[in-house]
Structure 1
C-alpha cells in the first residue's frame, strides 16, 4: 500500500490557531522560573497553562522546519505540543537552564519521532546515528553542493565526507541516500506503470522451499519415520528405552537418571546407548539401501520395455 501524502494547505481553523499562538508574548527568565516553581511545587494549573501557552509559538516554529517531509503541518504541531507538555512536567527550575532551551529539545525530539514513524511505511532511523543521517543528509549534501558550485553526485569522496561529518559508516550514507531518493510502492503496482505488466511483488524472492520440495520432504520424512519405527523393534527393551529417553523425547533423560531406573552405572548406560544407536543407524541405512535398489530395478524394467504397435 502506498502512503498518501496529506495536503500542506491549512484550513481557516488552523490559520486562526497559528495567528493566536504567534501573538502570545514570550516570557522572561524570571517569569519562566516563577511559573515553573508554582507548577512543580504547588501544582498550580494556571501557572502551567501560562507557561505552555507562551511557548506554543516555539512549537510552530520547530514544526515548520520539518514541513518538507510531506506530513500535515497540524500533525507536526500536535506532536510538538506533546513534547512541550513533557518538557513542562520534567523541567527542574533549580538547574539554572532556561525553560525555552529545555523545551526546544523535547519539542524537536517529539516531532522527529513522528516524522520517522510516518514518513514511510518502511521504518528508518532506528539508531542515533541513522536518525542524525536521516535528518541531516539532505542539508549537508546541499551545503556541499553550494560550496562546490553545482549539483553534487554521491561519489565516494562525497560519501566519505558526509560519513565523517555525521560519524556514521559510508555504507549507511549510501543506504540512506537511496532510501530518501525512492518512494513507497504498493507491491501490486506494476513496474513502469504499464497496465498488465509485472508487479513489484513478482520480483520478490521467496527464501522458503518450493511446493515440490515441501511435498518431497513430507514424503521422505514419512518414509524415514516408518524405517525408524521398524528399526526400533529390532532393539532390546532396554536399548529401546535408552534410545527413546535419550534421543527421541523432547525432555531428554540424563545418564544418571537412566542408570538409577535400570540399576546400572551411568557409564554402562552410555555404552548401551552407543551400541544401540549404531544398530539403529545400520538398520535404517539398510532399509534405505533396499528401497533404493527396488527403485533402480523398477526404473530399469521400465526402460527395457519394448514399444507396442497397435
Structure 2
C-alpha cells in the first residue's frame, strides 16, 4: 500500500480515553444503548444453550450461563444496593444474570482479530467493572450502563491485542481523528483519500499525517499460509534482496559463457 493512501479500518474513531486507558463515560450516550425488545428476546434465546448439539467450548459456555435468569428493574436496584454495601452474593448475582448480554455484544465484534471466547472474556471484565461502578439511584437500567462498559473493554482489547506493536492511547486517539476524516472524505470523494487530502481537510502538515497513517498499516507474519490448496507460506514467495533473482543469474551465466567462448 502506498504511504500516501489510507485503508480505512473499523476502529473506534470517536473514543476518548481517560488516564487509565478507559474511554471517558458519557451519560448522554446511555439513551442510545438501551436494549430494545428484540435485543432482550435475543438474550432469552441464548438461555436455551443446553439443547445445543455441538458441544464445543463456546456452546458449553452458553449452556452454562443460560441457567441464570434475567433481573427485573426492581431486582437490579435491590441487588445493586446490596453489592455497593459489599454483599458478595448480590455482586455475583448481578454478574451472572448479565453474562448473556456480554455474549450478545461480543458477537458484534467478530472478524476483528480476536476469537469469540476472547471477546467474551474481555466483555466479562467490563461487566465486572460496571457492577462495581453502577449507581442504582441514577435512574437508568443496569443493562444500559453495563453495555457501555462492555463495549469499551472489548474495543480496547481489539486495539491492544490485534496489533503486533501496541500504540499508546494518545497516539490511537490522534490516529482515530485521521481515520474518521478519511472515512468522511471517502464517502464524499468516492475514493480512498490521500494523505494530502486528509491534511488539507484537517489543516495539518502532510508529513505528520503521512507518518500517522503508516502506523495504521497491518503487519503480516512471513509464516502466514497463502491459503487455498497451497501449503506454502508467505516466506516461500518473498524475494531475498541480497540474492540475485533468476533472471540476473541466467544473464550472468550467459555472460560468463560468452566471455569463456571469446577468450578460448
**What TM-score does the superposition give when structure 2 sets the normalisation length?**
0.52
Q: Which consecutive residues of structure 1, in runs of 5 or more, have no partner in the other structure? A: 1-9, 200-310
The residue that corresponds to 2:125 in the other structure is: 82
The residue that corresponds to 1:130 in the other structure is: 172
**What TM-score does the superposition give when structure 1 sets the normalisation length?**
0.45
Distance 1:177 1:49, change over 3 A: same
Mapping 1:238-253, distance limit 5 Å: none
1:116/1:125 contact within 8 Å kept: no
* Residues matched between the structures, number: 179
Deviation sequence 1:36-88 (CA, Å, 0-9, x none)? 1122236051x333322332233223333433331222112101101111211
Counterpart Cα distance in 2 of 1:144 and 1:22: 45
Instruction: Give the aligned CA root-mean-square deviation in angstroms.
Output: 3.9
Counterpart Cα distance in 1 of 2:55 and 2:184: 34
Secondary structure, counterpart of 2:158 in structure 1: helix
2:186/2:192 contact within 8 Å kept: yes
1:120/1:184 contact within 8 Å kept: no
Deviation sequence 1:138-191 (CA, Å, 0-9, x none)? 56644543454x332234334554x58xxx9876654443222331557xx98x
2:181/2:198 contact within 8 Å kept: no
Distance 1:198 1:112, change over 3 A: farther
Counterpart Cα distance in 1 of 2:59 and 2:205: 43
Distance 1:26 1:159, change over 3 A: farther
The residue that corresponds to 1:37 in the other structure is: 81
The structure carrying a bigger helix percent of its residues is 1
CA shift at 1:132, angstroms? 6.8
Mapped pair 1:183 → 2:219: yes
Mapped pair 1:64 → 2:107: yes
Counterpart Cα distance in 2 of 1:173 and 1:59: 36
CA shift at 1:123, angstroms? 1.6
Q: Which consecutive residues of structure 2, in runs of 5 or more, have no partner in the other structure? A: 1-53, 223-233, 244-264
